[in-house]
Structure 1
Amino acid sequence: MQSPFASRLHTNYCASDDEISELKGLLAEPRLRLAKLDGEILALRQKLDGLVEQRESLCAHIQSHQALMSPIRRIPLDVLEQIFLACLPTHRNCVMSAQEAPVLLGRICSSWRTLSLSAPRLWSRLHIVLPPPDHESLSRDRDIFAAKTAQRLEVASTWLGRTGICPLSISVEREFHLNHLDLPEDLLELLIPYASRWQHLSLVLPPSGFERLSRLSENDVPLLMSLSMSSAPIMDPAYTWTPAGIVFAPNLSSFEFAGSGIIPSALPLRWNTLTELSLRVSSWNWNSGLTCETALDILARCHALRSCKLLIQEISESQVLPTNPIVPCSFLRAFELQCYKTPLRTAEYLLNHFSHLALEEFSLSAALGDREDPDNIQGITSALGRCPQLRSIVIQTDIFSKSSFMDFSRCLPSTVQRLKMVAMCGWGEGSLDNNNVLQAFEASADRPAACPALREFIVEGYLLISDDALLRFIVSRMPTLRRVHARLSREKQVDILPNLLPFIAAGLEVSLQYYDPPEPLRPNFSPWEGLRDYR
């Protein structure tokens, strides 16, 4: 638009009185046009708003009728129930949370809620977390924890009431403190009436709870296939109890016990039908713990055992071990061994008493930090060398010296595809001198890499490996390596993920976790407590 004031526009020029009068006259007509345009715009907006409103109304009308033809509504109820069942977690029991099935399914619509509540199999697995009173502020939080416990038990009662006649899988988790070992009486009063339908049962209870369970006979638990019992520590060294009939269940094939107060060899189990066995018996004296001799005696009874986890008492340096009979272990595929102080000697002794070994998974750790002779690895490497199908090794690195661990690594069977290294206390150098630990797994011109088939590498704890050393190791093992998980007890030094992006794009799975300062303790009411995937 032409203007006699074009040269003055967008400057700091101040108009005179005469120019102000001229400007007012000049702007009169444009202002009228502007007002007219504003009116037209307002009219168009009102018309557009009306059209939008009509469109939304029409869309709602169409969608509400279209929903009647929705494929999900046409799915037969029996098929929909199968879909609901596929939504359940496959590797653990269901939790009391609306964040996942089956509770979540009942929050979608009334028809789904009706179906979910009428499908007993949806509710046949349950994880119960009973929160303990906070041991540092017992009196202050007692009412809070009591109310939460009552709420969980009420929900569990409602949940189990929906299971019809289905076999049940139940797990109970509770943390106990030495000064607080009581158990809500209502818990066992709730669970025991369902004993005839127990199929998989996992309990964390104080001794008083297990004493009540021991009153059950094998006839009370005809469906029981797996039983896991963990007890709080018992300070009285003379205290013992016997699980009695419940462990003699006719279909029991998996048994796990962690705690004290039992004599393992005296358990009235159907040993010859067990396929999974875990015994972690701790004791304030040495009468009821598990010795090498007792372990071999037990394993000789287990003709079908496929998985075994044992906590063994230490072997003293001066102890002369008896010559036990050789135990056939042709079915044993997974063996996890934890020992007090003497893991290398214990593992050597036990493995050398196994015949027909076909191990695929082996784990070795020490329950206490003191080490035996950490350089005596010939026996353990020779024993593992008799396992031509060994695929997975989990090892506590600090039961060795650093040099002997590197030698041990080079002697591992070439079939190993998964290696997990856990350091409970490290080797005490106080620096990142542990980088050379990974050199055994890096190929060089004069030496092949240990574990050439390695696909999964896991390192956790106090093994002080630098980020640069970890990066060199990963690069050296590509493209065979498929998964790396490192959880290190130090802060991040270098971000190595950008260097790994090409490998990640090619399928490598990488998880790196570093030390975070601990958060302040607070009451924990998570319904996922005690589950393996609990975060």
Structure 2
Amino acid sequence: MSLQFDQPCTVGIGQTASIKEEMAFLEMELDDAVRAMELAQLRVAQLTKELELRRSLLAPIRRLNVDVLSSIFLCAAETDEMTPLRIGLVCRYWRTVILNIPRAWRFVDAKHNNRGICEIYHERSKQCKLHATGGQNWMEFLGVVGRRLCCLTIPVIMFNVILPMLTHLCLSSPSEDFMPPANLSNLTPYAFPVLKHLELHIGSYFAWIPRDLPPLRTLTVTVYDAQGWPTIISKCASSLKSLTITVKTYIESPVLVDTNLPNLTYLKISGPYESGNHGYLRLLTPSLTTYLEGDEYDPPAIVHYDSLDSIKHARFYRIPPFQTPTQLRTVQLTLELEEYDQFLDTFARNNMILPHLEFLEFQHGWMSSAEIAEARRILQAWDWTVFERLVHPPRLTQRWTVDLRAEDPPLCGENLPCTRWRLP
């Protein structure tokens, strides 16, 4: 089989020159096209960037005015004290806004002993009252922010310190390990003239308690034996409205002490139960309205009280001890399954003991699914219409739906609750 060609394979000299010219022209056009494509790609990238910029200008957050942004930044600062610094790094506009919100800079985190940050917050907060948490070397930043402190959480006891604007003080051990005796000698009305709320979470006993304490409204103590803290309660008893006591351990030979708390309206107590212990503090609380027991199954023997007849809201981890008519409006209970019938036989047959009952809640806690179902069946089988003021039939719940808190919660500067200022 032979091959045949329509045109000869040979190219003359004139044709060769012509082809080379055409190739050069095509290469030039190709180069122009490549350059045009590169320019087009650059233009596409430029247009895309400009389009994204225009779209970002239409983002919802761009439409927020300064007042709305200020409110958001202020809430964020209350959640995390380092937020104002981070906000200032986002853009120039946000930095301008955050720098003009002195209240956002009033939360000082000095746990890491960074004096520079303390000075920044002190300067940018203008004349706002300050809230601070400090580490082991907290005294180093006190010279910077001390005169404007209204809320302070520190891990050690203070010596020779005067804080004229402090209203809330939390002293807490860095761990639950036993610590040296806590020296409270400087906790005087002279050094803390406006202190109203005191929290003591110390892994030790209290010593060197001053003769006079500031007129406290709320006191919270978490301690590991009985030495010292009953004296603290007695020294501020006349002014206390809220008292929370958590005792981790007992002493072997308690001494019974009577303490009159004429204005106390809120009492929460918890501590280990020992049947052979008769308690060493008896609280007389004629104005008490809210009483809560800790999460122990047995009644806490650590504190004795004269009467609960005046209370309107109560929480028990046992069958309540009432035998006569009460003023109770809210009752919260955590019971064993076998105690439900006993409780109902005592309290639910009539309204003689609980004539003012409005809310009754049971927390199922550690119950199994079968026990929860049985407890719910028991409660549903009873006729609760005898309680005329009951808002709804009793609830069996995992978490309390009615919040029993102090009527006078601890607030400091500008009505901020100081519940978040705790050591990690």
TM-score of the pair, normalised by structure 1: 0.50
C-alpha deviations, 1:308-359, integer Å up to 9, x for none?
A: 1235685879x7846x4x7252x32211224465598439x624x33x3232
Q: CA RMSD in A?
A: 5.1
Cα offset, 1:265, TM superposition = 4.8
**Residue 289 (structure 1) aligned to one of 218, 228, 233:** 228
Residues 274 and 305 in structure 1, CA contact (< 8 A), matched pair in contact too: yes
Give the corresponding residue for 1:346: 279
Residues 167 and 194 in structure 2, CA contact (< 8 A), matched pair in contact too: yes
Identity of aligned residues (%): 17
Distance in 1 between residues matched to 2:184 and 2:104, nearest whole Å = 34
Distance in 2 between residues matched to 1:412 and 1:365, nearest whole Å = 25
Distance in 2 between residues matched to 1:277 and 1:445, nearest whole Å = 33
How do 1:160-239 residues align onto structure 2 when only pairs under 5 Å count? 160-172=122-134, 183=136, 185=137, 187-205=138-156, 210=157, 213-217=158-162, 221-232=163-174, 239=181
Residues 290 and 311 in structure 1, CA contact (< 8 A), matched pair in contact too: no
Residue type of the partner of 1:115? V
**Pair 1:467 & 2:369 matched:** yes
> Aligned to 2:183, what secondary structure does the other structure show?
coil
How do 1:33-432 residues align onto structure 2 when only pairs under 5 Å count? 64=54, 67=57, 73=63, 75=65, 77-78=66-67, 80-89=69-78, 94-96=80-82, 101-102=83-84, 105-106=87-88, 109-127=91-109, 158-172=120-134, 183=136, 185=137, 187-205=138-156, 210=157, 213-217=158-162, 221-232=163-174, 239=181, 241-244=183-186, 248-259=191-202, 260=204, 262-263=206-207, 265-266=209-210, 268-270=212-214, 273-282=215-224, 288-291=227-230, 294=231, 297-298=234-235, 301-310=236-245, 314=250, 321=256, 324=258, 327-329=260-262, 331-339=263-271, 341=273, 345-346=278-279, 350-351=282-283, 353-354=284-285, 356-364=286-294, 383-384=307-308, 386-389=309-312, 391-393=313-315, 395=316, 397=317, 405-406=318-319, 408=321, 415=328, 417=330, 419=332, 421=334
Distance in 2 between residues matched to 1:236 and 1:126, nearest whole Å = 27
Structure 1 spans left out of the alignment, 5+ residues:
1-52, 131-148, 174-182, 398-404, 423-433, 488-507, 510-529
Q: Number of paired residues?
A: 345
Cα offset, 1:305, TM superposition = 1.6
Distance in 1 between residues matched to 2:350 and 2:421, nearest whole Å = 36
> Aligned to 2:165, what secondary structure does the other structure show?
coil
Distance in 2 between residues matched to 1:255 and 1:339, nearest whole Å = 20
Give the corresponding residue for 1:178: none
TM-score of the pair, normalised by structure 2: 0.61
> Using CA pairs below 8 Å that are at least 6 residues apart, which structure has the higher relative contact order?
2
Residues 237 and 260 in structure 2, CA contact (< 8 A), matched pair in contact too: no
Is the radius of gyration larger for structure 1 or structure 2?
Answer: 2
Residue type of the partner of 1:333? T
Residues 364 and 396 in structure 2, CA contact (< 8 A), matched pair in contact too: no
